[in-house]
Amino acid sequence: MDRIAFKMKLKPGFAAEYKKRHDELWPELKTMLKDAGISDYSIFFDEETNILFAVQKQAGSASSQDLGSTEIVKRWWKFMADIMETNPDNSPVSTPLKEVFYLK
């Protein structure tokens, strides 16, 4: 199982809304992520920079950021586009991060 991390950026003033939307994550999206092998998925927020830091385990070949061809993910991206920095297709601007240390 691989662990991956990436960062995204939240627009200023939307931390509470971002948390609310994720607290109410659509059940069908949660099921799709789990079915794709995504688990132990956490997102952290840096209030000073508005950076979101995400880390997840993946048993399959794709991370959550690679599932954009599915309709549910496209709808989620559109739903989140007003509060995050996004690409033209509404996907979040996401930067993969390289692991430099891991204590098991």
Active site residues: 22
| Burial label, 8 (beta-carbon count in 10 A; 0-12, 13-18, 19+) | buried
Dihedral-angle region of residue 37 (phi above 0 means left; psi in -120 to 50 means alpha; beta otherwise): left
The residue written with tokens 């995504």 in the block is 38
Place of tokens 């960062």: 7
